[in-house]
């Protein structure tokens, strides 16, 4: 039967396409159903294009400081439209890369919106595809607005990241609601392109899921460069005009009116669980709206599995990718190593970058763990001084008794790259001693990791 | 150059040892051969001695802590010497002293340091296990390639787990009846000796095809002989017990039935020309079988003295390994507990063991007339791979005759 496969995957984002490759590698005939471009949000309207734009922003900020380094670049002019066009090329390259991977691994790609049917079937248009082994649901998530306070996304004055990534020019002023990773990154981008940015966070501090010290460091850095940061703020009302939006924001016991050209909604995401036939197949959702899965990522309907954002937090591409690998190995009858959800790195690519793994210091306190925090600032790191990237620090939370790395937090120029030393350490259960014993090249930003490990042991050298 | 102090294999079966007490402290000067610490092995408390001269440093094993054989427990350094993590010239721990008569092929040789570190475990798991005194070799690893991880130790409740984030109040377990207070049960970790008993005996009754032969022995003459002997010994000290007589008689009977005085060695059977009788002794928290060597050549008085001395030291756990290994046949006596009859578990690689019940007066028919006699039941457990039914029965008949007519031992 032409429409019969071992594994059918609904959704070609990071979880879905990685699952497709691994499934094919394991010798299972595989079909991937995608209604849009391959690569999903990550490749097309998420991780990848924002990294391209952030690099444009970084170049702009470098050039502005270039004189100090003995390089005269003249008056720095920015053009968001050009930066956007470049980011689109990068996304398209990546999407084509995923297409190539599907061909290379002989995965059948079906274009269209799939709807699940009982009996491990998926209907796409008039065609019905049948899975002999499993159906993987990897439909991902999307941005959401706040219609209850008058801020429905209208794609002109009230936008989401989906629209921000396609703007031809940077708006004169912008309020960003939500200071998680998305809000932080766009604040960084638009500020660098000359937009007057106001960053509004409902929780008491920006980057609320990160360690409090990381939040403080970023708040300080943003304020210093002229980004207005309002945390612990409640947006009471949004009045949307033709080319402006007025927000009533309550913070610190006072209400203020903020008038901006554009509002960027960056407060959370909604999972794509509607109109894909979940209920008809007996696939249940959790209280929070995610697809309910067991240890093997199987849903409440046997033969149907959930991976990626739809299967629950953290809603991160790399978590979904790992689930894609693990679930196909389970389906193929292998016994993959269990996913350590407590060891998924979290990275915000603003400048300076914020990267973390494991527990925050507050979480250590809440759990009444006996810990020591080791710290090392990049201001004391030779390499960082050389590049002028002295903002930030490495902080390692060490369990007092066994030396376990309970958590690690990095704020700094290369935080997103440096964190993996600690991710590998935690995955292999190295203690701070093993991290410190590994010889770190000099001079590198990574030396700060070894120094923070030493500091947690009470014998820091370089400070 | 600093020398590592290893946990040595102080007995042939020892895989880990518990540091009972450090006799030398960090910073103490030590001489070669001096006792550094007392170590509880699987069978006894032994001395860990210094293999070098210098200053004891970096004592890594706390008192009460159990460490694997081959682990570094301290370092002996020159005074003022800077110590690196592990001394490069560290000697291998000396092999366990081999018992005097013959090596036991079936017993795995003592672990070397390489063996001890071959367990796959994460650094964190190693550290937790070390602190908690858990032998990683006994933990099933679920990490890549069977690597022991923190989670595997958590599964053994070694690590105090943080309280779950959402705590659901559980109803307190309620007993339907009023108890006399205290816990309904108590979990007691296995001691070294209990672990060894478990391991050794599980290799007995399961794999060994046992069969049992029981006979009742008239102990009238043996009792008379014992009374007479003890009277004669008088205040010379040392009394002859029934057990001594049984050991002597068993040894004698074995010389006449060498087919029962043997070890099963997987691909061969070793028939012993010497008779070494293992004597089961109950000790606090377990049992141990000290060995009366060449029992067939020893006088009853000698056997009596030796048995008493060995039993005393067994109870205070001061036996040397060569004193409880190498038996060719064993005797287990529960007579003092008023047990009429029981079966004993063979101590491999031995092929047989005699289980001795209590001596009771009972009416029997002697020469056609009813009479009250002192009688004792003995049961022989045989490894059928070595001893066949008739072979065992013939030995048992000889033993019975010797006990019923002690003078026969003089023949």
pLDDT tens digits for range A233-247? 999 999 998 899 999
Which positions in chain B touch A430 (Cβ < 8 Å)?
122-124
Gap between the Cα atoms of A246 and A264, Å rounded: 13
**A433 to B163: CB separation less than 8 angstroms, yes or no:** no
Q: What is the pLDDT of residue B142?
A: 81
Cis peptide before A104 (omega within 30 of 0): no
Residues belonging to chain B with any Cβ–Cβ distance to chain A shorter than 8 Å: 122-125, 127-128, 131, 142-144, 149-150, 162-163
pLDDT tier at B237 (50, 70, 90 boundaries)?
low
pTM of the model: 0.61
Q: What is the pLDDT of residue B357?
A: 94
**Over 70: is that where the pLDDT of B334 sits?**
yes
Q: What is the pLDDT of residue B166?
A: 39
Q: What is the pLDDT of residue B94?
A: 37
Rg, chain A, Cα only: 23
pLDDT tier at B206 (50, 70, 90 boundaries)?
low
Of B311 and A409, which is predicted with more confidence? A409
**Over 90: is that where the pLDDT of B354 sits?**
yes
Return the residue in A429, A430, A438 with the most chain B beta carbons within 10 A, the one to mutate for interface testing: A429
Burial degree of B245 (CB within 10 A; 0-12, 13-18, 19+) = buried
pLDDT tier at B83 (50, 70, 90 boundaries)?
low
**B127 to A403: CB separation less than 8 angstroms, yes or no:** yes
**B150 to A369: CB separation less than 8 angstroms, yes or no:** no
Q: What is the pLDDT of residue B176?
A: 37
Largest Cα span, chain A? 69
Q: What is the pLDDT of residue B184?
A: 46
Task: Give the chain A residue whose CA is nearest to the CA of B124.
Answer: A429
Strand partners, B369: B366
**Over 80: is that where the pLDDT of B236 sits?**
no
Task: Phi first, then psi: give them for residue A258, nearest 5 degrees.
Answer: -120, 125
Rounded (10°) CA dihedral A118, A121, A124, A126: -80
**A431 to B128: CB separation less than 8 angstroms, yes or no:** no
Q: What is the pLDDT of residue B91?
A: 36
Residues belonging to chain A with any Cβ–Cβ distance to chain B shorter than 8 Å: 337-338, 367-369, 401-404, 428-431, 433-434
Specify whether the CB–CB gap between B303 and B323 falls below 8 A: no
Task: Give the chain B residue whose CA is nearest to the CA of A364.
Answer: B162
Nearest CA among B252, B256, B237 for reference residue B304: B237
Tell me the pLDDT of chain A averaged across its residues: 95
**Over 50: is that where the pLDDT of B179 sits?**
no
Sign, CA torsion A160/A165/A171/A174: positive
**Over 90: is that where the pLDDT of B109 sits?**
no
pLDDT tier at B118 (50, 70, 90 boundaries)?
low
Residue A260 Cα, gap to closest chain B Cα (Å): 41
Supply A389's token pair: 């990237």
pLDDT tier at B329 (50, 70, 90 boundaries)?
very high
Tell me the pLDDT tens digit for each residue of A96-151.
999 999 999 999 999 999 999 999 999 999 999 999 999 999 999 999 888 778 88
Task: Phi first, then psi: give them for residue B6, nearest 5 degrees.
Answer: -95, 155
Tell me the pLDDT tens digit for each residue of B251-288.
999 999 988 998 888 778 888 888 999 999 888 778 88
**B123 to A434: CB separation less than 8 angstroms, yes or no:** yes
Residue B123 Cα, gap to closest chain A Cα (Å): 5
Which positions in chain B touch A403 (Cβ < 8 Å)?
124, 127
Which positions in chain B touch A428 (Cβ < 8 Å)?
122-123
Residue B131 Cα, gap to closest chain A Cα (Å): 8
Residues of B labelled as active-site residues: 384
User: In sequence order, which residues have a C-beta less than 8 Å from that of residue A279 and are 6 or more positions away?
Assistant: none
Q: What is the pLDDT of residue B1?
A: 67
Supply B107's token pair: 């017993």
Gap between the Cα atoms of B410 and B299, Å rounded: 11
Task: Phi first, then psi: give them for residue B402, nearest 5 degrees.
Answer: -70, -35
**A429 to B125: CB separation less than 8 angstroms, yes or no:** yes
Q: What is the pLDDT of residue B158?
A: 57
Residue B245 Cα, gap to closest chain A Cα (Å): 57
Tell me the pLDDT tens digit for each residue of A264-318.
999 889 999 999 999 999 999 999 999 999 999 999 999 999 999 999 999 999 9
Gap between the Cα atoms of B207 and B196, Å rounded: 17
pLDDT tier at B190 (50, 70, 90 boundaries)?
low
**Over 80: is that where the pLDDT of B90 sits?**
no
Report DSSP state, residue A333. T
Task: Phi first, then psi: give them for residue A364, nearest 5 degrees.
Answer: -60, -40
Place of tokens 């960084």: A188
Which positions in chain A touch B141 (Cβ < 8 Å)?
none
The percent of residues above 90 in pLDDT, for chain B, comes to 22
Q: What is the pLDDT of residue B92?
A: 38
**Over 70: is that where the pLDDT of B187 sits?**
no
- b/e map A351-366, b = 16+ CB within 10 Å: bbbbbbbbbbbebbee
**Over 70: is that where the pLDDT of B88 sits?**
no
Gap between the Cα atoms of A146 and A148, Å rounded: 5
When CB atoms are compared, the residue of A369, A402, A428 closest to B128 is A402
Task: Give the chain B residue whose CA is nearest to the CA of A340.
Answer: B151
Task: Give the chain B residue whose CA is nearest to the CA of A338.
Answer: B143
Q: What is the pLDDT of residue A88?
A: 97
pLDDT tier at A32 (50, 70, 90 boundaries)?
very high
**A368 to B162: CB separation less than 8 angstroms, yes or no:** yes
Range with the poorest average pLDDT among A22-26, A349-353, B88-92: B88-92
Nearest CA among B327, B335, B217, B218 for reference residue B275: B327
Tell me the pLDDT tens digit for each residue of A87-98.
999 999 999 999
Gap between the Cα atoms of B39 and B22, Å rounded: 9
Cα–Cα distances in angstroms (integers) from residue B405 to residues A414, B341, B400, in the given order: 94, 22, 8
Task: Give the chain A residue whose CA is nearest to the CA of B159.
Answer: A402
Task: Give the chain A residue whose CA is nearest to the CA of B127.
Answer: A402
Return the residue in A367, A371, A402, A438 with the most chain B beta carbons within 10 A, the one to mutate for interface testing: A402
Specify whether the CB–CB gap between B323 and B310 falls below 8 A: yes
When CB atoms are compared, the residue of B131, B142, B149 closest to A402 is B131
**B149 to A429: CB separation less than 8 angstroms, yes or no:** yes
Tell me the pLDDT of chain B averaged across its residues: 78
Task: Phi first, then psi: give them for residue A328, nearest 5 degrees.
Answer: -70, -35
Nearest CA among A419, A420, A405, A412 for reference residue A457: A405
Size of interface A-B (CB pairs under 8 A): 33
**Over 50: is that where the pLDDT of B86 sits?**
no
Range with the poorest average pLDDT among B25-34, B36-45, B71-80, B178-187: B178-187
**A429 to B162: CB separation less than 8 angstroms, yes or no:** no
Nearest CA among A134, A137, A138 for reference residue A23: A134
Q: What is the pLDDT of residue B188?
A: 56
Residue A207 Cα, gap to closest chain B Cα (Å): 22
Q: What is the pLDDT of residue A397?
A: 98
**For the residues A325-352, what does the mean pLDDT come to?**
95
């Amino acid at each position: 039967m032409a429409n019969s496969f071992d594994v059918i995957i609904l959704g070609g984002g990071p979880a879905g396409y990685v699952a497709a490759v691994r499934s094919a590698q394991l010798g299972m005939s595989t079909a991937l159903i995608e209604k849009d471009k391959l690569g999903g949000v990550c490749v097309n309207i998420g991780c990848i294009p924002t990294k391209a734009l952030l690099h444009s922003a970084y170049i702009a900020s470098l050039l502005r400081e270039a004189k100090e380094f003995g390089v005269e670049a003249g008056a720095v002019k920015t053009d968001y439209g050009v930066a956007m066009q470049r980011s689109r090329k990068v996304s398209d390259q990546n999407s084509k890369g995923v297409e190539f991977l599907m061909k290379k691994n002989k995965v059948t790609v079906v274009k269209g919106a799939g709807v699940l049917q009982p009996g491990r079937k998926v209907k796409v248009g008039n065609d019905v595809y049948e899975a002999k082994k499993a159906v993987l649901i990897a439909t991902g998530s999307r941005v959401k607005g706040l219609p209850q306070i008058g801020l429905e996304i209208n794609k002109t004055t009230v936008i989401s990241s989906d629209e921000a990534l396609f703007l031809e020019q940077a708006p004169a002023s912008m309020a960003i609601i939500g200071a998680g990773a998305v809000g932080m990154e766009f604040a960084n981008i638009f500020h660098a392109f000359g937009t007057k940015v106001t960053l509004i966070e409902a929780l008491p501090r920006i980057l609320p899921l990160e360690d409090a010290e990381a939040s403080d460091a970023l708040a300080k850095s943003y304020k210093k460069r002229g980004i207005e940061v309002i945390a612990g703020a409640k947006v009471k009302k949004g009045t949307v005009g033709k080319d402006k939006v007025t927000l009533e924001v309550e913070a610190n016991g006072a209400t203020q009116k903020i008038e901006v050209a554009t509002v960027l909604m960056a407060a959370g995401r909604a999972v794509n669980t509607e109109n894909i036939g979940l209920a008809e197949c007996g696939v249940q959702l959790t209280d929070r709206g995610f697809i309910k899965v067991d240890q093997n990522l199987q849903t409440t309907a046997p033969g149907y599995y959930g991976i990626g954002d739809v299967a629950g937090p953290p809603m991160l591409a790399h978590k979904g990718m790992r689930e894609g690998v693990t679930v196909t190995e389970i389906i193929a009858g292998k016994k993959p190593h269990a996913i350590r959800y407590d060891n998924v790195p979290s990275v915000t690519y603003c400048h300076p970058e914020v990267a973390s793994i494991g527990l925050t210091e507050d979480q250590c306190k809440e759990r009444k763990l006996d810990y020591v925090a080791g710290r090392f600032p990049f201001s004391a790191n030779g390499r960082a001084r050389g590049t002028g990237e002295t903002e930030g620090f490495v902080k390692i939370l060490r369990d007092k008794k066994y030396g376990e790395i309970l958590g690690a937090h990095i704020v700094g120029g290369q935080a997103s790259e440096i964190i993996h030393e600690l991710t590998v350490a935690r995955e292999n259960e190295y203690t701070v001693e093993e991290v410190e014993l590994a010889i770190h090249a000099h001079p590198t930003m990574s030396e700060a990791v070894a120094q923070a490990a030493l500091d947690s042991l009470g014998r820091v050298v370089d400070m | 150059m600093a020398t590592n102090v290893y946990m040595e294999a102080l007995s042939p079966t020892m895989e880990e040892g518990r540091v009972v007490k450090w006799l030398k402290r960090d910073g103490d000067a030590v001489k070669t051969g001096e006792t550094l610490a007392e170590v509880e092995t699987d069978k006894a408390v032994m001395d860990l001695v210094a293999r070098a001269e210098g200053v004891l440093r970096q004592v890594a094993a706390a008192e009460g802590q159990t460490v694997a054989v081959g682990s570094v427990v301290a370092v002996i350094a020159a005074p003022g010497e800077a110590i690196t993590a592990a001394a490069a010239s560290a000697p291998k721990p000396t092999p366990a002293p081999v018992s005097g008569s013959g090596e036991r092929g079936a017993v795995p040789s003592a672990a070397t340091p390489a063996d001890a570190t071959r367990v796959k475990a994460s650094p964190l798991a190693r550290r937790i296990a070390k602190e908690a005194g858990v032998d990683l070799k006994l933990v099933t690893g679920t990490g890549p390639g069977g690597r022991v991880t923190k989670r595997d130790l958590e599964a053994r409740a070694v690590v105090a787990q943080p309280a779950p984030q959402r705590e659901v109040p559980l109803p307190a377990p309620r007993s339907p009846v009023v108890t006399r207070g205290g816990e309904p049960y108590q979990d007691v970790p296995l001691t070294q000796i209990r672990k060894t008993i478990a391991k050794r005996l599980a290799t007995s009754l399961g794999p060994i095809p046992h069969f049992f032969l029981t006979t009742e022995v008239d102990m009238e003459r043996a009792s008379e002989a014992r009374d007479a002997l003890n009277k004669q010994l008088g205040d010379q000290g040392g009394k002859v017990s029934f057990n001594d007589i049984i050991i002597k008689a068993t040894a004698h009977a074995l010389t006449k039935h060498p087919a029962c005085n043997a070890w099963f060695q997987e691909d061969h059977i070793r028939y012993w020309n010497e008779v070494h009788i293992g004597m089961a002794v109950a000790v606090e928290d377990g049992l141990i079988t000290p060995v009366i060597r060449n029992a067939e050549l020893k006088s009853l008085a000698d056997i009596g003295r030796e048995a008493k001395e060995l039993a005393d030291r067994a109870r205070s756990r001061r036996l040397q390994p060569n004193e409880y290994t190498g038996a060719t046949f064993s005797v287990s006596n529960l007579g003092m507990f008023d047990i009429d009859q029981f079966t004993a578990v063979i101590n491999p690689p031995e092929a047989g063991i005699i289980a001795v019940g209590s001596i009771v007066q009972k009416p029997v028919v002697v020469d056609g007339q009813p009479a009250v006699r002192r009688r004792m039941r003995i049961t022989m457990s045989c490894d059928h791979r070595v001893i066949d039914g008739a072979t065992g029965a013939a030995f048992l008949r000889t033993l019975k005759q010797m006990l019923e007519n002690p003078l026969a031992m003089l023949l």
